Amino acid sequence: MSAVVYRAPMINPRGANLYDAWIDGGLRVRDGRIEALGDFDAVMRVGEAHDRVETLEGVIVPGFADVHIHWVQHPVRGAFEEALMPWLREHIWPEETRYADQDFARAAAQRFFADTVRAGTVMGMSYSSAHAEAVRIADQARVGDWMVGDVVMEHGAPEALTRASVHEAVELDRRASGLGTERYVVSPRFALNCSPRLMAELGVYARVGGFHVQTHLSESPGEIREVLREFPDAEDYTDVYDRAGLLGPRSVLGHCVHLSPREWAVLRARGSWIAHCPSSNEALDSGRMDLEAVRRHGIPYALASDVGAGPSHSLLHVMQRYLDAHRAAGVAVSAVEALYRATLAGAECMGRDAVAGNLDAGKRADFVLLPAPGGQLDVEGWIGEWTRGGMAELEGRPLATWIAGARHDPPAAPPRTASA
């Protein structure tokens, strides 16, 4: 098979403030994998005569990873303004009961993946509704490299969404959907929906089976108060999950906005990841994650949209809210780091960084083309430029998205009617 060499400026994040960039870059792709990356002339020197060169108008960066998103909330993203607990009880749980209807679920899944690919997202971790069939539907409609899990709720939610045992809650669902550890993620919704016994069962299930775990931790003050009332024996919110054995290096904890020094230390000791959701925290007025503490404790984190509390599935929008929120608090963050947190860090969080997450040779050819700002190579300035604008603008900003070497162009604009 011959290869394609894409010629364009390129940025390849390699760490929090570490990257390579080329104003005249070359990216050789063969059979969906990246074979070489670097200066265009250097890439051509090691190529073969029949390689095809395609010059692109724009800048190539890795495709985005979203490590905390509820695909079943996509239709109502940003639709309700409330604090966390009333938002869940009054709006979100009734919405999620609709996914018992498979036709509804199929249409929603197709729309979700069309929208995420359009916005440049190539991989991620998603919460589904409580329905086993909806997990299977999401996996069948999947475009890109996704893990998905049914939210496990035992009590404290509408009866149609709750299940009582780990057998009912997970094993059955996984068999029904036929997914393995690469695709299925064990997803207790959060402490307020689960008994200690069920959480412990889920912890064993995930550890023995080698599954990732995702849940919500310490998002809003009201939620934390309820958790401490419900688990009087626990040291704190983090301890509820720690006692259940739910914290490990394959655990991804959404939010972590209001943690104590003891809790940071526990997360660090367990090697768990944070899914940092700045746009969601802003939308529900939950507070700002203490980025200085996260850095001090050396806890790994990746960015995530948390749609539907997050109002947009665009990782460019999440990067914008991340930069604004922390800078407003006087914390230094670079646009270069934002790009890393929205790409390679997500792949690391998912355990996929050996095969995806940036443009290194040998990885899957997942990348997006962003508009060329022109002028001299200015990586910090260019990334800053791409994160400017409103949500709709940011969702539509990537000019094209490649997943495993296959190009996904944005859908053509709808035809204008005569009267328009």
Q: Determine the interface stretch with Zn ion among 15-23, 33-41, 92-100, 306-314 (rule: CB under 5 A).
A: 306-314
Tell me how far, at minimum, the Cβ of 354 lies from Zn ion, in Å: 27
In the complex with Zn ion, which residue's Cβ is closer, 10 or 307? 307
Interface pick for Zn ion out of 282, 306, 348, 395 (rule CB under 5 A): 306
In the complex with Zn ion, which residue's Cβ is closer, 281 or 401? 281
Tell me how far, at minimum, the Cβ of 57 lies from Zn ion, in Å: 37
Of 257, 293, 304, the C-alpha closest to 69 is: 304
Other C-beta atoms lying within 10 Å of the C-beta of residue 416: 7
Residue 189 token pair: 């919704």
Tell me how far, at minimum, the Cβ of 68 lies from Zn ion, in Å: 6
Strands 406-408 and 33-39, how do they pair? unpaired
Q: Which residues contact 151 (CB under 8 A, 6 or more apart)?
A: 96, 127, 128, 129, 130, 161, 187, 188, 189, 193
Q: Determine the interface stretch with Zn ion among 205-213, 291-299, 301-309, 322-330 (rule: CB under 5 A).
A: 301-309
CA 124 to chain centre: 4
Q: Which residues contact 281 (CB under 8 A, 6 or more apart)?
A: 219, 255, 257, 287, 288, 289, 325
In the complex with Zn ion, which residue's Cβ is closer, 7 or 216? 216
Cα angle value 10/16/18 (rounded, 5°) = 45
Tell me how far, at minimum, the Cβ of 293 lies from Zn ion, in Å: 21
Contact predicate 331/290, CB 8 Å: no
Q: What is the DSSP string of 133-170?
A: HHHHHHHHH--SEEEEEEEE--SSS-GGG---SHIIII
The CA distances from residue 179 to 132, 184, 200, 208, 281, in Å, are: 11, 6, 22, 16, 31
Strands 251-255 and 212-217, how do they pair? parallel
Tell me how far, at minimum, the Cβ of 190 lies from Zn ion, in Å: 9
Contact predicate 257/218, CB 8 Å: yes
Tell me how far, at minimum, the Cβ of 200 lies from Zn ion, in Å: 22
In the complex with Zn ion, which residue's Cβ is closer, 162 or 214? 214
Tell me how far, at minimum, the Cβ of 152 lies from Zn ion, in Å: 14
Per-residue contact string for residues 221-260; x = within reach of Zn ion by CB under 5 A: ---------------------------------x------
The CA distances from residue 387 to 197, 302, 324, 342, in Å, are: 44, 17, 10, 12
| Amino acid (one-letter) located at 8 | A
Tell me how far, at minimum, the Cβ of 167 lies from Zn ion, in Å: 25
Tell me how far, at minimum, the Cβ of 214 lies from Zn ion, in Å: 9
Count the residues of the shown chain that bind Zn ion, applying the rule CB under 5 A.
2
CA 207 to chain centre: 22
In the complex with Zn ion, which residue's Cβ is closer, 61 or 138? 138
Tell me how far, at minimum, the Cβ of 30 lies from Zn ion, in Å: 38
In the complex with Zn ion, which residue's Cβ is closer, 66 or 306? 306
Write 410-415 long-range contacts (CB < 8 A, 24+).
Answer: 410/118, 411/114, 411/118
In the complex with Zn ion, which residue's Cβ is closer, 115 or 306? 306
In the complex with Zn ion, which residue's Cβ is closer, 96 or 306? 306
In the complex with Zn ion, which residue's Cβ is closer, 245 or 254? 254
In the complex with Zn ion, which residue's Cβ is closer, 156 or 254? 254
Residues that bind Zn ion (CB under 5 A): 254, 306
